[in-house]
Amino acid sequence: MLLGGALLLASIGLGFAFFGLDRDESAPQWRHSEALPDALTPDLDGERIAFLAVSTDVAAARLLAEWFNEDTGAVVEVRGVGYDQLLDHILADNLRQAPRYDVVEIWYPHLAYLVEAGALRDITPLVEANESLIEPDDFFEAIYTPYTSYKGRQWALPFDVDTQLLFYRRSLLTRHGFEPPRTWDQVAEIARTITREEQHEGIVGLASMGFPTAIINVSTFLNRLAAHGGDFFDDRGRPALQTPEALAALEDLVAAQEYALSPGTDVDYEIARDAFLGGRVAMTAQWTDLGFSAEDPRYSTVTGDWGVVRMPMGRGDSARHAAALNAGFSLALSPVSTSPEVAEAFLLYAASPQIQKRLNLSGTGIDVGRHSVVESRAFRDQAPEMAEVLKEAYDGHVSAWPVRTETPGMMDQLSAGLAEAVTGEREPEAVLETVQQQWYHEMGPDPRELSGQGGGE
């Protein structure tokens, strides 16, 4: 284990933020002058709503609140909470005598659970009446259904569309005679070599996220599982963790600890990101906003010295380049909102292609989910390499997390098992056997059909 130590998850306590945050307006592309349809800018002067956002999206939420205030007069109070507390806060608010939230950001795999708990409002009529403003067909096809739908109804709209790509330091790979990797085996070879040769300078080959919460370590596992040709479930909806593909993915993940940044369960999103931006690792599989931060000298020491490729392939006859819809957040309406019409207006505003383009180019970490943004001149001028790689990723195989009522419990079980494997407490094969049986128990004696591509039951 390398460069270990007390690496802790960033603060996840509930916070409060209001629009008007001081900001360096010279940052590239933070604001755009595209005209908005009148229907997105109703007169709401004096109205107030509260928006619950995941902590990693608070900067974007503040910016969005400021724009909405400028365009409508409404005040949006932004409240941030850590991703591992988001579900509990939404559920608790639905039971309060005096609810605190009008619009909530949700992790899309929690959609079915929240619907069945009565914690989300059905927005099907709102979406159908405003398709010309939302432009659903402009979203990447692979993301729209899992991010929004359950039992044939619409409950949310995509906001922060997350997949991961492999980022690398050009100078480090070149110095050691490597091309950008196309397979996970090549990633291992590069990482092992650079760790061996550069460790004395405080540089290692790979930052592998293993923090034991599902949104982190299950995402890392799914990248490799999908690359080997596997998925969470088979084509009949049965758990598919006792497969050669799943075993190969987990064994590779365990082996990666030899040349990774820190012991497997220490590294979360913030630690991996900051290590790459600080020049301390050669490669990391990360969410796509890293490509904007890496080129911004306010945050990065590696400007001009990084590259990006789609997720590497695994091994065997089923190996493929595969994108996984890891993390990913949608916006939904609280059914107990005290200002439902203002909340609707905010949702339509935030989900519109014009505002999403602004957010994608703002440098606040909101990842792109629309064809029109990736194909726009502004995006290609700002991030040409990112645009091409994203298009390749979404045009290929895409694995979604299951949108089921059982998802939160099942993914917590898998996350705990993965942590046991990477820390050496249990062998990978035993972990996968245990979790597969836990999943069968969660799903009941007659598991219902599940496509693995979202959309609910």
Domain 15-160+329-366 has CATH 3.40.190.10: yes
Task: Record the pTM.
Answer: 0.87
**pLDDT at site 83:** 86
Rounded-to-integer distance, Cα 79 and Cα 51, Å: 6
| Close Cβ partners of 3 (under 8 Å, ≥ 6 residues apart) | 202, 204, 261, 262, 280
Residue with tokens 């089923």: 318
Matching fold, domains 15-160+329-366 and 164-324: yes
Q: Using CB atoms within 10 A of its CB, is residue 73 exposed (0-12), middle (13-18) or buried (19+)?
A: middle
43 SS3 class: coil
C-alpha 288 chain-centroid distance? 9
**pLDDT at site 26:** 39
- DSSP letter string, 284-306: EEEETTHHHHHT-TTT-S-TTSE
Strand ranges for 113-220 from DSSP E: 149-150, 153-154, 157-160, 164-169, 204-207
β-sheet with 329-333: strand ranges across: 15-18, 75-81, 48-54, 103-107, 329-333, 157-160
Which phi and psi (to 5°) does residue 163 adopt?
-135, 175
- 17's tokens: 């933020």
Domain boundaries, the chain: 15-160+329-366, 164-324
Q: Bridge-partner residues for 313, per DSSP?
A: 183
What angle (nearest 5°) sits at the alpha carbon of residue 420, between those of residues 418 and 421?
A: 65
Write out the chain's pLDDT in tens, 457 residues.
333 333 333 333 333 333 333 334 334 444 445 789 999 999 999 999 999 999 999 999 999 999 999 999 999 999 999 988 999 999 999 999 899 999 999 999 999 999 999 999 999 999 999 999 999 999 999 999 999 999 999 999 999 999 999 999 999 999 999 999 999 999 999 999 999 999 999 999 999 999 999 999 999 999 999 999 999 999 999 999 999 999 999 999 999 999 999 877 999 999 999 999 999 999 999 999 999 899 999 999 999 999 999 999 999 999 999 999 998 999 999 999 999 999 999 999 999 999 999 999 998 989 999 999 999 999 999 888 899 999 999 999 999 999 999 999 999 999 999 999 999 999 999 999 999 999 999 998 655 444 333 444 4
| Close Cβ partners of 276 (under 8 Å, ≥ 6 residues apart) | 167, 169, 207, 284, 286, 290, 294, 302, 306
| Furthest CA-CA distance within the chain | 63
Nearest-CA neighbor of 60 among 362, 443, 448? 362
Question: Quick check: 73 and 104 in contact, CB under 8 A?
Answer: no
**DSSP letter, residue 239:** B
Nearest-CA neighbor of 283 among 186, 360, 197? 186
**pLDDT at site 287:** 94
CATH class of 164-324: alpha beta
Strand ranges for 218-358 from DSSP E: 281-287, 306-309, 322-324, 329-333
